[in-house]
Amino acid sequence: MFTPGFKFFFGLAMGLVTAAVVYGYSTGGDHVGPLVWGWKGGIGDHVGYVTLMGLGVVAGLIAIALVMYRDADPAAQAHYAGVDSIAPTTPAAASHWPVVAAFGAATMAVGLVVHSAVFVVGLVLCAIAAIEWTIDAWADRATGDPVANKALRDRVMAPIEIPAAGAIAAGVMVLASSRILLNASANGAVIFAGLLAVVILGIGTLYAAKPKLSKNLIAGLMLVAGVAVIAGGIVAAVDGEREFERHEVHEDGAADDTHADE
């Protein structure tokens, strides 16, 4: 019933706890202090008592873990569960959410020091990764068929992911474009807006005219355009807005235009 691993660690735990109690009493512990972790009475020398008791607790936890897993022996597990065989574990599929979670954690760490807004961005990334990771973990074990699991996962998450991703992408593009428009000169802003419209319409026209065009090509074009706009937006945001013309109003109600942005 009890595995050798359990017996070893349980015995070790009992020995360490006993040693902690004896050590506690022999170094000045009083009443029942060493027996009840100092709840009533002293435990004697703190360092030695805590070390021995801590190790005893850890050994006890390992013993419990080992008996739970039946020393990792599928035969013993199967016997314990009263079945002929234990179902093998389904391998975890590749996932990019752990990397997103890591970037989220790093963003939070930097945001903790730099600015609360950065921290919130990291927190949002971590929250998204946690939700996606949880759903993936659930879907991986939903049925015995990985293809069905993937379809099930997509059915649950796609109605949320696609609109959310679209909204985020649109928001980022609008934000980046607005930074460029605010940074560029008056004429430059017009040219940029025109170019952006041409690119969007061009890609749309291309796709409409040749619906069998490679998806990779379309995705590549959109990626290049998107990265260019975002990079331009970041540079523009760092550089700041251009100086805008101000309208000074005189006491008689007449307005003077000052043209600062040439």
Q: For residues 110 and 122, is the Cβ–Cβ distance under 8 A? A: yes
32 touches another protein (CB under 8 A): no
Judged by CB under 8 A, which stretch of 58-66, 186-194, 198-206, 208-216 contacts another protein?
58-66
Q: Give the type of residue at 116.
A: S
Among 106, 198, 224, 227, binds another protein (CB under 8 A): 106
Report CA torsion sign: 194, 200, 204, 206: positive
Q: For residues 46 and 90, is the Cβ–Cβ distance under 8 A? A: no
Helices (H), 141-185: 146-183
Bridge-partner residues for 248, per DSSP? 256
The number of angstroms, rounded, from the C-alpha of 228 to the middle of its chain's C-alpha atoms is 26
| 137 or 174: CB nearest another protein | 137
Judged by CB under 8 A, which stretch of 98-106, 159-167, 174-182, 207-215 contacts another protein?
98-106
Range 115-154, binding another protein (CB under 8 A): 133, 137, 144, 146
In the complex, what is the shortest distance from the CB of residue 82 to another protein, in angstroms, rounded to a whole number? 9
Q: What is the DSSP letter of 213?
A: S
User: Which of 133, 132, 104 lies closest to 119, judged by CA?
Assistant: 104
22 touches another protein (CB under 8 A): no
Among 32, 36, 64, 102, binds another protein (CB under 8 A): 102
Q: By rule CB under 8 A, what count of residues binds another protein?
A: 58
Q: For residues 258 and 245, is the Cβ–Cβ distance under 8 A? A: yes
254 touches another protein (CB under 8 A): no
What are the residues binding another protein (CB under 8 A)? 1-5, 8, 47-48, 50-51, 54-55, 58, 62, 65-66, 69-79, 83-99, 101-103, 105-106, 109-110, 112-114, 133, 137, 144, 146
